[in-house]
Amino acid sequence: MRLSARIARHIALTMVLLAASTTVRALPQCELSGEAVDPADGHGMAGKSGVMRCTDDTGALRLREQTVREGRFEGPVLLELHDGTRKQYSVNERGHRHGVAREFDARGTLRREEQLVDGQLVGEQKQFAEAGYLQRLDFYVDRRAAVSLVLLADGSLNELRCAERSLVPHDRTPCGHAGQVSDVTLYRAPGNASGRVRYLAGQLLYNAVLDERGQPVRTEEVKEGRRIKRVYYRSGPLRSEADFIERDPSDGQGREGVARDWAESGQLTQETLWARGHEQTIRQWYLNGQLKLRQEIQRDGRHQQRLTESYWDNGQPAAINADRNGRLMGWQKYFDEAGVLRREEEHGDRGVLLRRKRYSAQGSLENDEHFLAGGSRV
């Protein structure tokens, strides 16, 4: 009896484990034309046609209906997720999505509608909010969104991207395709402006980013062949401005124009002039308005030479330095705050120090040192 009881318990435990194993490893149940099929079994699916239906009450994908043509998945597909989301699309003979694809939420509201050609987004792509209104409209050309409009519940624009020609009815007015410059306000929420843009024939002429108070954070403007970028302090004053000739990056001529920076008080602190893609002149100022630095830059092929004049905040010279490719070259001069020359240093090839002269506060020579290549004094 004892042995029989142990055998019975073992059989019972085995049945429980088998049942548990069956529950964990449950597979979707699929049928085609009333016959059970395994979609992963290519041999078993060979030659069959119709609509395969798979159900799985335990998985994330609750329902799958897919067209089969002579053993291949080709044609309409319906997927229903366990959370109620429903997706409808078609696949071509290569298994790529092709044609119109739609996605609905659990309440049946259309949330996404896409146009595809052989798996690639082409033309109009739409996204809808939970409330049902159009939330985003993109138009894809060459695998990128050439036009984008993001809308809020009241129909106002949140984002805008334009193409050189009108691609959807919605872009004609805001992108300036109606023959006149558009003037569009963008909103982060209804009634809360986040920016302003102006377009003409799809070309951006003006763009302003606004803070939560409606004040400009930065702006960008194309005017008379120049692109002008400005950044502002939160308190309102201009912080920086870059004013350059608008050029195609591939033309090889490089940047040409001027960049400036200001302190919050309004004092100009730096100005950089550019020509042929390189810095030409740099000037800096102290907050009291005195010149701090003036630098002239010359280029000879790959080589660059700078002559830098530095000043104390009382207007007296502080240093005169020359360098080539970032290394000091020739005689360097250093002055005290009274403008008296106190030190001179000569640098040779690769910036090596060759000689140093020191002067008294009255300007008379006090010390003259010569240096060997290894750095030792003569």
Determine the structural domain holding residue 158 and report its residue range. Answer: 132-214
Q: What is the mean pLDDT of residues 61-67?
A: 95
90, 144: one domain:
no
How many domains is the chain built from? Answer: 2
Residues 51 and 111 in one domain: yes
In a domain, 377, yes or no: no
Predicted pLDDT of residue 19: 44
Backbone angles phi, psi at 212, to 5 degrees: -65, -15
CATH number of the domain at 88, please.
Answer: 2.20.110
Last residue of a domain, one of 214, 233, 257: 214
**Residues 83-118 pLDDT 10s:** 999 999 999 999 999 999 999 999 999 999 999 999
pLDDT tops 70 at residue 48: yes
What distances in angstroms separate CA 306 from CA 29, 279, 294, one per listed residue?
A: 78, 10, 10
249 part of a folded domain: no
Residues 100 and 138 in one domain: no
101 in the same domain as 57: yes
- Flag whether pLDDT at 13 surpasses 70: no
pLDDT tens column, 309-324:
999 999 999 999 999 9
pLDDT at 356: 96
Q: Assess whether 38 and 114 both reside in one domain.
A: yes
CB 253 within 8 Å of CB 276: yes
The structure's pTM equals 0.78
* DSSP letter for each residue of 163-231: -SS--SGGGTTTTTTTSS---EEEEEETTEEEEEEEEETTEEEEEEEE-TTS-EEEEEEEETTEEEEEE
142 and 207: one domain? yes
Q: Is the confidence at residue 22, as pLDDT, over 50?
A: no
- Token duo for residue 30: 């699929």
